[in-house]
Chain A
Amino acid sequence: MNIVVCISSVPDTTAKINFVDNDSKFDENGVQFVINPYDEFGLTKAILLKEKHGGKIIAITVGEQKVEPVIRKALAIGADEAIRINHTPKDSYTTAYHIAEYLKSNSYDLIITGRESIDYNGGAVGGMVAEFLSLPFINACNGLNFSDGIAQITREIDGGKEKLSAKLPLIIGGQKGLVQESELRIPNMRGIMQARTKPLSIIEPSNIETLSTSVKFEKPAEKGACKLVSSDNVGELVSLLQNEAKVI
């Protein structure tokens, strides 16, 4: 089974988020980048599937040279080869387009994306790649197994679960549950050494225009100071809620 795992390079979850250039651009200064956590669940699932069924894992990313440490980590964890499409990702459409263009001329059985990336939370690339390749797309999957070559999938829906089956080739959007956090792999030394020699191909992108452009980012309002009111002074509490917080 050939499994393609789409990897997004995102700021570490503990990174301090700031914007520059009149709040139009994310400030990458001093920020550590990691594999998008939802993609990491997908990569780990791909490794488990490969261990069971055999095959090959191809990690693919769209990004500049600076994202290579993240894709190299995917190789150290267990991907067999990596593809970097040399393009600055600006919107979901161009990212999906470049991934689909590459996949059109390469073989695959299963494509795994994350449910969304944790930086821009677009959640659109998987569906768009599916559209470009005319494949089924099932998002928010938290379970995947194979029975007689048919994918048996569990996904989260509002208030419950949905079970689906689908033929390959197929695209899924993964999340926690696809594998458990305890199953995530830390690159071991053997993996890091092997990653030195695993192929990382750089593909030059075709020239297409973005369909949308980020104009401005805003951070959530800072939390206000906490005021403590004595428990025997309910009147003051009501007054503050009415006149200052204006919530009642």
Chain B
Amino acid sequence: MSQDLYQAPDYFLMDELLSEEHKLIRDAAREWVKKDISPIIEEACQKAEFPNQIIKGLGEIGAFGPYIPSKYGGPELDQISYGLIMQELERGDSGVRSTASVQSSLVMYPIWKYGSEEQKNKYLPKLATGELMGCFGLTEPDHGSNPGGMTTNIKDMGDYYLLNGAKMWISNSPFADIAVVWAKNEDGRIKGLIVERGMDGFTTPETHNKWSLRASSTGELVFDNVKIPKENILPHRDGLGAPLSCLDSARYGIAWGTIGTAMDCYDTALRYSKERIQFGKPIASFQLQQKKLAEMITEITKAQFLTWRLGVLRNEGRATTGQISMCKRNNVDMALKIAREARQILGGMGITGEYSIMRHMMNLESVVTYEGTHDIHLLITGHDITGESAFK
């Protein structure tokens, strides 16, 4: 990939709504992405390899569990800091952000919120540095948008639980040291449990030939009579609400992250349009290109403010699942449209690995599907405003 010349757009001076520490954290993540992600990400994607050398750096910039309290090894930052880190990571690549999102919101968050004190002390400090990596098992081959229909199950065997079933589309699974898995007990109640690599009967086959999130490692979790010690059950909450609360946190991170991809696509297209000469002048001077660019910065700006407000509400503990759904859906859709338009501005160059746009566009096809599909989020909003569920 050519040199990373990224300059973040801030058309409405949103920086003035951020604290000095927010900006320090954001700029450190931005600098790290320029230094450690931009030079290697294109090759990692082309080869479909997760660049595991970045794990230490992700831990150092606070990308793993930014809001986890310091007594468990976390940086104890607020939700806007978390969002800004995700924005910068996804500016680099959605796969890198996915790795951090999963570790933070889907592994550390449930252990922090629903785990025992022993579990928190055992896992969280090592997860915060990346010494341990985790993944999250909710989706199954036959249960995607309807996780409540899951068939993965645990049976109480007295001294331990016996876990059987399979999970699919699991980011980080091929290399994860632990998995936070959701399974039904004999009463049909969903419980969370921590499965460790090396347990007999637990395997993590990798999913190959993806055209999206190629620098992120995806796989399955297969449980064949896996003995789970009773102390590995998350004791403080059960039911579908537990994993869904983790998804709220992850979806919030995606809402910020996709602003990052949109900003990168816009910035690339804007620079290219000023440099590319056709008919004797820069293509930025043509009305059709200006329309594309003007609409992009308008949509990015709207998303920035929607998401900043969501961050304030999350800091105050007032953000609802409906608001998070609306924001995730809006922002991913916004970023995907901008990626497609930006690709057109770059013409043929837009399809090459010289520029990040096509990679972002392909990544976003996953992001628009995972953590609640585009359609399901619309139905969550519909349910929220009408009181009528369209998917039950």
Footprint of B on A, CB under 8 Å?
A: 14, 30, 68-69, 72-73, 76, 186-190, 192-193, 195-196
Contacts and interface: CB of A to CB of B under 8 A. Distances in A.
B379 interface: no
Contacts of A196: 21
Contact of B32 (A69, A72, A76, A186): A186
B92 interface: no
Interface of B: 7, 10, 13, 20-21, 23-25, 27-28, 31-32, 35, 60-62, 66, 70, 75-76
B327 to A, nearest CB: 25
Given A72-B24, A73-B24, A192-B62, A186 B70 contact: no
Contacts of B60: 188-190
Given A68-B20, A69-B20, A187 B7 contact: no
Contacts of A14: 7
Nearest to B20: A69
B24 A189 contact: no
Contacts of A68: 20
A72 B13 contact: no
Given A187-B28, A189-B61, A189-B75, 5 more contacts: A30-B13, A69-B23, A186-B31, A186-B61, A188-B61
Contact of B20 (A30, A72, A189, A193): A72
Complex A-B, nearest 4 residue pairs according to Cβ-Cβ distance, in ascending order: A189-B62, A188-B60, A187-B28, A69-B20
> Which of the listed residues A72, A187, A193, A195 has the most CB atoms from chain B within 10 Å of its own CB?
A187
A126 B28 CA distance: 29
A243 B154 CA distance: 90
B24 A76 contact: yes
A196 B28 CA distance: 15
Contacts of B21: 192, 196
A30 B16 CA distance: 10
Contact of A192 (B13, B28, B32): B28
B17 to A, nearest CB: 14
A146 B99 CA distance: 44
B152 to A, nearest CB: 35
Contacts of A72: 20, 24
A196 B75 CA distance: 12
A190 B31 CA distance: 16
A187 B13 contact: no
23 contacts: A30-B10, A30-B13, A69-B23, A69-B24, A72-B20, A72-B24, A73-B27, A76-B24, A76-B28, A186-B32, A186-B35, A186-B61, A187-B28, A188-B62, A189-B60, A189-B61, A189-B62, A189-B66, A189-B75, A192-B25, A192-B28, A193-B76, A196-B21
A69 B22 CA distance: 11
Nearest to B60: A188
A188 B21 CA distance: 12
Contacts of B62: 188-189, 192
Contacts of A186: 28, 31-32, 35, 61
A77 to B, nearest CB: 9
A68 B21 CA distance: 11
Contacts of B13: 30
A69 B20 CA distance: 6
Given A186-B35, A186-B61, A188-B61, A193 B75 contact: yes
B84 to A, nearest CB: 12
Contacts of B76: 193
Contacts of B27: 73
Nearest to B74: A189
B70 A193 contact: yes
B34 to A, nearest CB: 9
